[in-house]
Chain A
Amino acid sequence: MSTAGVVLRARKMSTVQAERGVTPPIDARDKVLGKAAYVDDVAVDGLQHAVVLRSPYARAKILGVSLDMEADWEGITVVTAADIPGENAVCIGESRDWPLLASKGVRHEGEAVVVLCAPTLRAARAALKRIEVRYEPLEPLLDPRKSEDNSVQIFGQDNVFARTTIERGGPRGSGRWIECEWQVGAQDPVPLETHGVIAKPEKDGSLTLFGTMSRPEWVQQTLREALKLSTVTVIQSVIGGGRSCRAEVPVQLAAHAALCAIRIGKPVKLQLSRTEQLRYTAKRHPLQVTLRTQVDEVGRLHRVEARLLLDGGAYATSSAQALETAILHALGPYHCDSVYVHGVVVATNRPPNAALAEFDIAAMHFCIERQMDQIANSRTLNPVAVRKVNVLRGGDSLHTGDVLRWAVGVEVVETAERLAKAPLVAVRRPGPAKSLPGQGVGLSLCCLQPQGGGAVSVELRGEKIRLLVPYVDAGEGHPTRFAVLVSRALKVPISSVVVRPMDTSRIQPSMASPPEIQLALGRVVQRLVKIVAQEVGSRSSDFARLLKKRTSTKRIRVEEPILPREGLSVAFHAAIVDLLVDPDTGEVTLRRIVTTSAGRRPVHARMSQIELEGAVGRAIGSALSEKLEVGPQGAWRVSGMGGIPKAGAMPELVTEFILAPDTLGPAEPEDGVGGAVLGAIAQAIEQATGAVMRAVPMHPEQVLKALP
């Protein structure tokens, strides 16, 4: 019942040439000229610099804070929890347990205790050393498997931030059981630009915040509740580092900068150092999954039982959302009528982790893809065949109860298989003669829960069309896609479409996703055409002609709500990885990765392709080179930025899109491809060497250890 057609082949070598003349990103010019203004690029008169004093302990009582009175405190402002006029809490959605500044005790290493600001960064850093915080260290809880024992109480009665169980269909009698445990360590979003905020008090008593904040409504809410500020404007700077998790931590930073700015009546900047960014900011929740599957002789799933444990860190922040994403993808792209899924996200004395959709989806897929491989092994079946037997088909329902009206899992695998047969364009770093070649396949499914909310507006100003959309871009390029959509719909040059960056004084923030925004933009543009047609008394729907006729210079503004569409929005991905493993050292050299993705027709195929390539790169980084270790007090000890692979580690990439009927609303093609890549890398290593990789990352150490 599924239909699919190949609309676009974007092969590595030909793409740039083939797509010459495609609209470049609207902000590309500023970026290649070095003119794009990131937080640290903005000059503000009288700017003060803030720094944060952080806890060295995972868990401790705070006995007191004192300043060295011998030191010169002229021009330096120190802020502690006692200076917060309202509720000492960062607002992350409904959650309120994360303090702006610790007061009685600290729950993780790196927790903010004091903020101070000074006229220069150097002076601020020097002053930090003149503050003494006295602690009484307490036994910390660092192992999430022990959280529910409750030996240390961190959150509520049982240290559980959220818990979900889904049960569908009863246990079945027949089939062989296979039980495995899988682990995916934390992942760091490693943005190239660290989080930063400037808080500027205005003459009218309001406050403007400028910086790398992707959730302006949380900033506003926090400042309303904690600082009792009624008028707060949040303006988005250009943000460095795609998919970089600018949600939670920047809210706290904004509050820190605001506390100082209000106190001294001057603009204050707070930008994290690279070390702070690496050690203390939110990572993707470390995940442990036990999967029990009952299968028949062809590997068909008769029952799936999954138990998920996520480490939320010291505060709830967005942990419930991370759990929801993991649960939603617990079966990956596969179908089974008899399911038991139980997930819990617990508290530990570690820096709080955050929901990071791209990685949350990928992590869960690694586990389910590995399970499929073990199912194939246990019955000596072909792993691709096992996937094809189980992959979701049109009319199947997910374990959440949603029914998929279309599904093209089989087609994406087959297309990927076809593409993977082509000879390698280049053999990257051929490696030692003894290298063992391996090939693996992975599948993934990306489900986007529609959120809706807020509105989009278009403004006609003379010839220019201005879009006001509730979206914060961090390099994913959605503003360009919005502009392309509008310019195409109106048949006007893209240069006459302007997309405003997020500014809460003009745009109401919303949780809506880019595809939902695109749908609303489609509608609002149609309304704009009608209004202009009416104004000039024409029946034409040719916007360019209408504009020519138009004599009035009056500004027209049309607003359209963003409606959540019914049902899920889904994209399928398949990845085929071709790699070499050095049997002496366990080093993995990737040769080629083929991905095929099925979803809606992309608005700007070239940008979707680059986004996909970026997502594949991030998956490679987390699979093979990321180095995250836990320090003695629970914070991360990260050496370098290994989560980003180097250019030389990238294989030949082949990406292809498959157009799927748009019956369930649009999906972002790039989300979720990482899961297929992670699974395929692990399977290819196993094919090459027989080593069963049970965890991410898969460094040479782990590969060598797993060799049979």
Chain B
Amino acid sequence: MKDVASQIRQGNRLALSCLLTWIENENPEGRAALDELFALTGRAFIIGITGPSGSGKSTLVNRLAIQLTGSPQTPQSVAVLAIDPSSPFSGGAILGDRVRMRDLMEHPEIFVRSAATRGALGGLARAASEMVLALEAGGFDFVLVETVGAGQSEVDIACLAHTTLVVEAPGLGDDIQAAKAGILEIADILVVNKADKNGADTAARSLAAMLEIGADAAGLNREEQVTWKVPVLKTSALNDEGIDELVAAIRQHRTYLETSGEWQRRSQIRLDDLFERLLREKLFAEWKRNIQNRKYEQILGEIHTRKISPYQALKQFRA
């Protein structure tokens, strides 16, 4: 495809789609197009949706995206990046989030893209951060990022999104009490989905209690605590209930971000993160190219046979 950057600026969706593929494949043409488009990024409101597998993230995104488009007279546009895990064995993936996003398929203001993690462990796709840049350049007002079903350590989304929703649900088997500390800490808004089912009230109460303990323990966050209290909201994505309240809370959080300076801070963290990752990859690749023939493999071999420890091995290399 020719001149992808200018076609994207003109609103060509096929060009955008093509760029997303290039970015995922770390293709140099994709990087060149992003160079051209980068100045257009930084305007979208990025919302992360994370939480355990099966809690209803995709079903909720289906409702949320439509709600966010607002009035048909002055519609807002919404992009969705839906992430599912790659198989560690084959490297392939089944990306099934679209099954629950039927209502978004033919909405003129909504664009949905599925992505596989491709080896990344933090709950996002390897190139998620750059894919979001491309979607921003596509002119979307909102970018919703659905992570893989997350337990507790897949918290990279917090460094990408302005606002992170953690979606829990009653009856997922594992007791909600089983402190999913990591994942609760990143919540700006806690959603108890499947409120149509038994146990939703209990789940909401125990989550609210856990949040309070967490907030007390994290003395560092006192200041934020004063200005933003993480709300616990009940929704039924299935029955389209509680979505208005959720959107209202999202808008409140945005106001909080903007008035507190957090908006800018979070927007920057995301770029810092991306740049640091790229730099690390580049330096490592260059360094490896420059070290003596086979020395790297040799030293790995010595570690394998327990001749030297990994720390001792480090000393044999110079930056």
Q: Do A and B come from one complex?
A: no
Q: Which residues of B contact A (CB under 8 A)?
A: none
